[in-house]
Amino acid sequence: MLNYIWAGLIVFSLVFALATDTREIAQDRYRNDAALPVELHFPDGYAADARRQSVEVRIRPEVYQAFYDTDATPERAYDGTLVQTQDGRQVRFDAGASLPEPMATIREVTAGSDGELRAVLQDFVPNGRTVAASVAFEPVRFVKMTAITQAAFDFADTAVNIIIGLIGALALWLGLLRIAEKSGLVGIIVRLVRPVLRPLFPGVPKDHPALGVIALNLSANMLGLGNAATPLGIKAMEELHKLNESEDTATDDMVMLLAMNTASVQLVPPVLLVAIMGLQINELIFSIIIVTGCSLLVAITAAKLLSKMRRYRATDPNRKTAVRLEENNPSDAADVDDPDAPPSNT
């Protein structure tokens, strides 16, 4: 299933970006070849030989709305700079100006590192402090296509940064857990939680440390301790992987752990949410506990029921052992060689 969702995300993004860009070109949303009529106001008067001088660009709302066929309203005036060179005159809107759409997008796509929107000045005849003229922006095409490409690289970067941030916490917890394992502490935890967790993770032998780490992971999750829950979950997965007969396929127990992690009861709301909501969060704790309690039950049931489904049973890496145990049930054993069985990576 992950294969399809993953490919679906990428293909859908491409199709969608292409469709949006095509529509924008068809509608000529950015008026690439036309110039927007504006009024230039020189607070200190126009200096014909100055290379740079400050200027106020005034855009009349009705002209703007008609030009771009939009409802957005520009501000009365934007501060900018008039740059004169031998090749012509250029107006630069100061970085940080709150531009209306689609000018904001034009700036986003065409502006350099200084964040200034640049436009070529046309029909400019110097005549007093306030002059009518028009500005032509750089042509803008394929905004979304550029955006998705950029996003792909940005997020690849983000992924690595997240992991680098995780290394410290991971090392700390793996170190502590190693001590806990060697000192027999994990064994004590295992004995404590066994009655509850054993039915959920039937593939784990009675005294295996996996149960102890799973218990620590789930408790950390409940207490909203994000920087402990993830390393503990990783360690729990490693312990479960030791019981896995295959290299690359998840066992039922791993899926159960994952499902319980995505739906775990939250006694303490996540730090990020507390930061956003402030004191308001107090009201919500009760509702979050009810919701997560129910969804935990649903997650456990879903993981159990899904693992019983034919297609997922057929791909269970520990199934061969299971078959040996259920030899007296020939209809089940037949599933293994089922030629119609879907590929195991769904």
Taking CB under 8 A as the criterion, which residues in 243-272 touch other proteins?
244, 247-250, 254-255, 257-259, 261-264, 266-270, 272
CB of 165 to other proteins, least distance (A): 9
Residues numbered 303 to 322 that lie near other proteins (CB under 8 A) are: 303, 306-307, 309, 312, 315-316
Minimum CB distance to other proteins smaller for 130 or for 150: 150
Q: Per-residue x/- mask for other proteins, residues 275 to 294, rule CB under 8 A?
A: -xxx-xxxxxxxxx-xxx-x
Rule CB under 8 A: say whether 154 interacts with other proteins.
yes
Rule CB under 8 A: say whether 176 interacts with other proteins.
yes
C-beta of residue 306 within 8 angstroms of C-beta of residue 1: no
Could you check whether the bond before residue 231 is cis, i.e. omega within 30 degrees of 0?
no
C-beta of residue 41 within 8 angstroms of C-beta of residue 129: yes
CB of 33 to other proteins, least distance (A): 25
Contacts of 57 (CB under 8 A, 6+ apart): 38, 39, 40, 41, 77, 78, 79, 80, 91, 93, 135
Decide: helix, strand or coil at residue 94.
coil
CB of 321 to other proteins, least distance (A): 17
* Tokens 């095509």 sit on residue: 22
Minimum CB distance to other proteins smaller for 37 or for 270: 270
CB of 346 to other proteins, least distance (A): 8
Q: Write the single-letter amino acid at 211.
A: L
* Tokens 């020939």 sit on residue: 330
Minimum CB distance to other proteins smaller for 81 or for 344: 344
Rule CB under 8 A: say whether 34 interacts with other proteins.
no
Decide: helix, strand or coil at residue 319.
helix
CB of 297 to other proteins, least distance (A): 9
Torsion of CA 214, 216, 222, 224, to 10 degrees: -120
Rule CB under 8 A: say whether 298 interacts with other proteins.
yes
Residue 81's DSSP bridge partners are 54, 92
CB of 261 to other proteins, least distance (A): 6
Query: What crossing angle do the helices spanning 252-262 and 210-222 adopt, rounded to 10°?
Result: 10
Number of residues that bind other proteins (CB under 8 A): 111
Tokens of 336: 């293994």
Question: Which span (28-36, 55-63, 72-80, 236-244) binds other proteins, by CB under 8 A?
Answer: 236-244
Separation between Cα atoms, residue 207 and residue 69, nearest integer Å: 71
Rule CB under 8 A: say whether 192 interacts with other proteins.
no
Residues numbered 56 to 75 that lie near other proteins (CB under 8 A) are: none
- Residue 322, exposed/middle/buried by CB under 10 A (0-12, 13-18, 19+)? middle
Task: Candidates 34, 167, 192, 196: give the one binding other proteins (CB under 8 A).
Answer: 167
CB of 194 to other proteins, least distance (A): 20
What is the number of alpha carbons within 13 Å of residue 128 lying toward its C-beta? Answer: 4
Question: Which span (35-43, 112-120, 189-197, 224-232) binds other proteins, by CB under 8 A?
Answer: 224-232
Task: Candidates 34, 47, 66, 223: give the one binding other proteins (CB under 8 A).
Answer: 223
Q: Write the single-letter amino acid at 51.
A: R
Rule CB under 8 A: say whether 151 interacts with other proteins.
yes
* Largest Cα–Cα separation, the chain: 100
Task: Candidates 47, 66, 160, 192: give the one binding other proteins (CB under 8 A).
Answer: 160
CB of 223 to other proteins, least distance (A): 4
Decide: helix, strand or coil at residue 250.
coil
